[in-house]
Chains A and B, each alone.
Chain A
Amino acid sequence: MTVTKALTGPPLTRDEAIEKVTGKARYAYEYHSQPDTAYAWIVTSPVAKGRVLTVDADHVLRSDDVIAVLWHENAPHLGDVGDPTLAVLQSPEIAYRGQLVALVVAKTPEAAREAAAQLPVEYEELAHDVVLTPDHASLYKPEKVNPAFETDTEQGDPDRAFDASPVQLDQTYSTVALHNNPMEPHATTAIWGENGSLTLYDSNQGGGVVQQLLAGLFELEKSQVHVINPHVGGGFGSKGMPRPNVVLAAMAAKVTGRPVKLAVTRQQMFSLVGYRTPTIQRIRLGAEADGRLNAIMHEVVEQTSTVKEFAEQTAVATRMIYAAPHRRTSHRLARLDVPVPSWMRAPGECPGFYAFESAMDELAVELGVDPVELRIRNEPEVDPETGNPFSSRNLVACLREGARRFGWRSEPRAPRNHREGRWLIGAGVAASFYPTYQMPASATASVDENDHYTVDINATDIGTGARTALHQLAAEALEVPLEQVTVRIGDSDLPAAGIAGGSMGTRSWGWAVTKACRQLREEGAKSVTANTKKDIEALGEYTRGSYGAQFVEVRVNQDTGELRVPRMTGIFAAGRIVNASTARSQFIGGMTMGLSMALHEEGLIDPVFGDYANHDLASYHVAGCADVGALDIGWIEEADEHLGGAGTKGIGEIGIVGTAAAVANAVFDATGVRVRELPIHLEDVLK
C-alpha cells in the first residue's frame, strides 16, 4: 500500500510485531551464546557511605567456574569521559548503598551469581544522610538545570504582585523517588575482536552515545566500537546514556579474553541506573477575582548525589504554560548519599505539572470557577517567558474537546457530591505540555536494480514503534508502497542519529529520513545521505511544544479508602501523527504511567540503611492491567508549518505530564480531601 501524507497516518502494525510475539526478536543478553562466553555479576555495597578496604578475590577464585574478580585495585584504568557513573571500579569510595564495588566473571551465570554472593568485601563505613528535607543544610543552587535551562528565573515583582492579589494560593506539594523499571533490564554482551575492536550488543536508547563514550573510556577510535541494538525492551529515560553494565561487560571481556554477558538485576536497577528525584515544591499563585493570574511562583527542592549532579528541571515548564506578568521559578538541590538521579519519563515537566496543575485546581476551587475555564482564561498570546510566538498551541482545543468527550461538568467544583453505593465518585482535569526538541541526524536512502529501497539510520526503537513510523515516512517521501522499502536501524555502523529520548526520536530521525528519501526521488540518484543539522539551525524563533488535557474519573471506597480509576480521557495536540495505532499506544502508556505515579509508585528511602527499601516489582508497585480502566485517547488534527521535517512534534512523554494532577484533582472532587503528596494512599482518604 502507498502511504499518502495526512495529518494522521494509518494504524499500521509494527514491522517487527511477528518477530516479537514469536520470540525471534533478540535482545542484548541473547547474542553470542558460545561455549567460551563468560558471565559477569555485579557486587554492590551494603553500606551507604564509606570505602572499600579489601576484596578477598581468592576466596571465590578457588572455584573452577570463576574466571576473574575485578575491583578497584585490579580493574583496568579507564579514560575520563566526564561521567563519574561510568568510571566503574576506579576508586574505593562509596557514595551510596547499592553502588557497584566488584564484578565477578564466571563460566556460567549461576556460578557468577553465587560467587558474587560469597565474595568477601571489607568496608569502612561512614555516617550517611539520605533524607531530603525542605530546609536541608546542603541545599545549593545548581548552575543549570537539566539539560541547560536557567536554574532560577524572575519577571516583574512576584512578591508584591502576590501580596496585592485578591485571591492567593500558597501550597507545598511533594513527590517521592520514582524508578524507571523498563521490562528489559540493562544488559550487554561484549566481544573484543583480534584487531582491538569492541562489539557491544547493548540495551540502550541510543547506540551513538554508547559508541562515543565507550571509545573514550577504553581509549579507542570511535570506529573501533560497534554498538548493536535492534530491539530494546523499554528505557523510560534510564537507558538514555550508557550505564555501568556496558562498561563492566567490556572491561570483563577485555580482562578475560572472552565474550562476556552482563545483566543488571531488577533489585540492582533501583540503585545503578537512575531514577527520578523526590521533589518538594512550593507554589504560590496570586489571581484576580476573575481568575486571571498576576503572580506565579514555583520553588523546587530536590536531591542529587555526591557522585554526579543531576538537576531535574521541575519548574521550567511553569515559565511558559500560563500568562502572568509576575513570575519566579527556582531550583535548589540537596547533595545526599543516594543513588544518582537521572532522566525518567518527562523529567521536569512530569513532577512540575503534578504540583502546578494541582495548584491550578485548588485556585479554581478557591475562585469558584470551572477548572477548565480557569485554564482558558490564562491562555497566553505569546510565550510569556521569551515573548516568542508559539509555532502552534492548541491547549484550549484539547481542553474543550476533552471536556466534550469525557462529559465534563462545566461548573465550579462541588466535592463529595456523587456516590454509587459505597463509592464516592469524582472527576479531575489537568493540562499537559511537553517541549518539542530535535537533534541533528543523518540518514541514507538508496535504491537497487529491482527498485527496492533501503533506508539506513542509527535510530533506536525502544518499543515505541519508531521503526514502523520511519518506514511509513520513508515510503511517503519516496512515493512508493511500504513493501518496496526496508528500514535498517539499531546499529552504529549506520548513519549517526541521536537518542530515543526527550520525545524527539521519531521527529529527529523522521526529518533525516524524509529529507534523504525526497532527495533520492527528486534527484533520481542511486544513493543519498542527508543530514539535518543546517535545517534545524534554520528553524525560526518559535516556542514549539505538544499540548494535552487529561480528564480522569476516580472512585474512592468509603470503607477502605481504596482508589480506583475507571476511565480517563486524554486529548493531545502534537503535530502530525504518523501512525494512529502506535501513537495511541504511546499516549495510553504515558497516561498509565501518570496514573501509576499518582496512586502506586513509591521509592521508600530507608534512612537507616540508605537504600530504597522496596527494590523489586513485588513491593514497588506499578499500575497493573486491572488498575487501568477505559482510556479514551484522541488528538487535534494539527498542521504546524514551523516544525520542519515531517511536521511531527513528540508524543512519547506528554501522556504522563498532567495525568497525576488530574487523578489527584479527581480524588479531591470525590472526597473533599486534598492530598498534596504522591502517591495517594488509601489511608490518606480513609474517613
Chain B
Amino acid sequence: MKPFAYAVAEAPVQAVHQLSARPGAKFLGGGTNLVDLMRLGVESPELLVDVTRLELDRIEPTATGGILVGAGVRNSDLAADPRIRAAYPMLSQALLSGASGQLRNMATVGGNLLQRTRCVYFQDVTKPCNKREPGTGCPARTGAHRDLAILGASEHCIATHPSDFAVALAALDARVQITGPAGDRALALADLYRAPDEDPSRDTVLDPADLITAVEIPTSREAHRNSLYRKARDRASYAFAVGSVAAGLSLAPDGTISEVRIALGAVAHKPWRARRAESALTGNPATPEQFRRAAELELAAAEPLPDNAFKVELSQNLIVAALSTLAGVEEA
C-alpha cells in the first residue's frame, strides 16, 4: 500500500481547501468503500481528509417542512430516525436493506452517495476498465455482467451504481448541498449522477474538491408516506441489489393515481427514475394491469446482455409488486 497522509478537517471550507491544494487527495467518511478500494489498489490517494468531525451529523427540520440530513450522519442513525420512518418509509427501508449492521454503523450519508460500482473488473487492477483507467476497454460486456446495467449504459461502461439509499432519494426528489472551491450550491440528486457516455471515469458531476454537506429531503407528501423500498438480492442480507425499486403512491378519491414516484436500482450507472412509467400512470386507475403496462413501457429502452436480460422482467415485476402493495390491490 502506498503511504498516504491523513488530516482531520475542522470545517467544510477547510476540507475543500485541503483537497483543492492537493490533487489526488480524497475525503474520508466512514471509509467502508474507500478503504476497500485502497486495499485493492484501485484508489491510492496521497492525502485522506477525514470529514467525520465536521459536525455534519444532524438530522433537522427545514424551514419549508422538509428534513435536512447532514452528510456525516451514519446510515444506521438515519434509518432509525422516527421522522424518516414515518414520513419517508422507502428511505428508511432502503438504508436498512443495504450492507450489514456493522457497515451501516460506519457508513455516512455522503459516502453512501459517492460509493463506486462493485463491477468486478473495476475492482481488479490487473484487468482493463474504462472507469478505472479510461481507454483501456470494458471486459464486462463479454465477461461477468450479471449484476450490471441494462438501462442508460454506453459501449464504454455498463457499471451500476450500488447504493440503495440513492434510489429512494431519487424517488423523493431529494437535493444535495455542496460546498466546493467556488462556494456553496445545491443540486437535484437526479442531476448529481451522470450517464457513463464517453467518460465513465466520472460517476457524478462533482469536482474532486466538492464536498457534499447535506441531503435535503422535501416536505413529506402522501406519495412519500405511502412508500416502500423493495430490494431483490441473492442473499437475504449483506448483498447488493440484483434489482430494486423505491416507490411511492397517492390515489385520488376516485381511485385514480394522483401521484406516483418510481426509481429503480441496480439497472443503471445511476439511480433510475422511471419517469415514463410515472407519466403513463398518473391519472389512470391503480390496477396491476396498468402497473404492468407502465413497467413495460419504462423497460422498453433496456439494452440487456445475455446474463442480465432477466433484469428487465425482474425490474418490471418489482414495479408491479411495489405499486400493487401500495395501492392495496392483489396481483394475479
Contact = CB atoms under 8 A, between A and B. Distances in A.
A682 B318 CA distance: 13
Interface stretch (A459-467, A541-549, A600-608): A600-608
A682 B144 contact: no
A441 to B, nearest CB: 40
A561 B314 contact: yes
Contacts of A609: 126-127, 139, 143
B142 A560 contact: no
Interface string A94-130: 0000000000000000100110010000000000000
B83 interface: no
A348 B1 CA distance: 40
A626 B235 CA distance: 8
B242 interface: yes
Contact of A683 (B118, B126, B239, B314): B314
Interface in B135-165: 139, 142-144, 146
B120 A564 contact: no
A603 to B, nearest CB: 11
B126 A562 contact: no
B320 interface: yes
Given A559-B318, A626-B237, A683-B310, A604 B144 contact: yes
Contacts of A623: 235
Contact of B1 (A46, A113, A613): A113
Nearest to B119: A619
Interface in B228-256: 232-239, 242-243
Contacts of B20: none
Interface in A592-616: 599-600, 604, 606-609, 613-616
Given A117-B41, A600-B234, A609-B139, A560 B318 contact: yes
A35 interface: no
B234 A110 contact: no
B233 A562 contact: yes
B234 A608 contact: no
B317 interface: yes
A686 B144 contact: no
Given A114-B2, A683-B310, A683-B314, A564 B320 contact: no
Contact of A46 (B126, B235, B313): B126
Contacts of A562: 232-234
Contacts of B120: 613-614, 619
Given A564-B236, A624-B238, A608 B314 contact: no
A420 to B, nearest CB: 14
B321 interface: yes
A621 B144 contact: no
A632 interface: no
A519 B130 CA distance: 71
Contacts of A613: 120-121, 124, 143-144
A686 B313 CA distance: 8
Contact of A560 (B126, B127, B232, B331): B232
Interface in A606-642: 606-609, 613-616, 618-619, 621, 623-627
Interface string A560-586: 111010000000000000000000000
A600 B235 contact: yes
A345 B127 CA distance: 31
Nearest to B231: A560
Interface string B201-240: 0000000000000000000000000000000111111110
Given A560-B243, A608-B142, A422 B234 contact: no
Interface residues of B, number: 35
A210 B190 CA distance: 59
Interface in B281-332: 310, 313-314, 317-318, 320-321, 331
Contact of A627 (B41, B144, B236, B320): B236
Nearest to B313: A686
A665 B284 CA distance: 43
A619 B310 contact: no
Contacts of A117: 41
Contacts of A626: 235-238
A5 interface: no
Contacts of A619: 118, 120, 123
A564 B237 CA distance: 11
Nearest to B143: A606
B320 A621 contact: no
B50 to A, nearest CB: 20
B102 to A, nearest CB: 12
A418 B6 CA distance: 58
A7 B317 CA distance: 53
B320 A608 contact: no
A604 B144 CA distance: 7
Contact of A624 (B121, B237, B317, B331): B237
Contacts of B320: 559
A681 interface: yes
A561 B232 CA distance: 8
Contacts of B321: 422, 559-560
A621 B144 CA distance: 15
Interface in A422-465: 422
A624 B100 CA distance: 10
B1 A559 contact: no
A608 B3 CA distance: 33
A682 B234 contact: yes
Nearest to A622: B235
Nearest to B233: A562
B20 to A, nearest CB: 27
A116 to B, nearest CB: 10
B15 to A, nearest CB: 26
A681 B314 CA distance: 12
B143 A608 contact: yes
A682 B126 contact: no
Contact of B314 (A607, A616, A686): A686
Contact of A614 (B2, B144, B236): B144
Contacts of B232: 557, 559-562, 682
B31 to A, nearest CB: 15
Nearest to A683: B310
B17 to A, nearest CB: 29
A492 to B, nearest CB: 34
Contacts of A422: 321, 331
Most chain A CB neighbours (cut-off 10 Å) among B236, B238, B243, B320: B236
Contact of A559 (B124, B139, B238, B317): B317
A341 to B, nearest CB: 20
A445 to B, nearest CB: 45
A606 to B, nearest CB: 5
Given A117-B41, A681-B234, 6 more contacts: A422-B331, A557-B232, A559-B320, A562-B232, A564-B236, A608-B142
11 contacts: A114-B1, A117-B41, A559-B320, A560-B243, A607-B143, A619-B118, A619-B123, A623-B235, A624-B235, A682-B234, A683-B314
Interface of A: 46, 110, 113-114, 117, 422, 557, 559-562, 564, 599-600, 604, 606-609, 613-616, 618-619, 621, 623-627, 681-683, 686-687
Interface of B: 1-3, 36, 41, 118, 120-121, 123-124, 126-127, 139, 142-144, 146, 232-239, 242-243, 310, 313-314, 317-318, 320-321, 331
- Ranked 9 nearest A-B pairs via Cβ: A683-B310, A626-B237, A560-B232, A626-B236, A559-B321, A559-B317, A613-B144, A46-B126, A624-B238
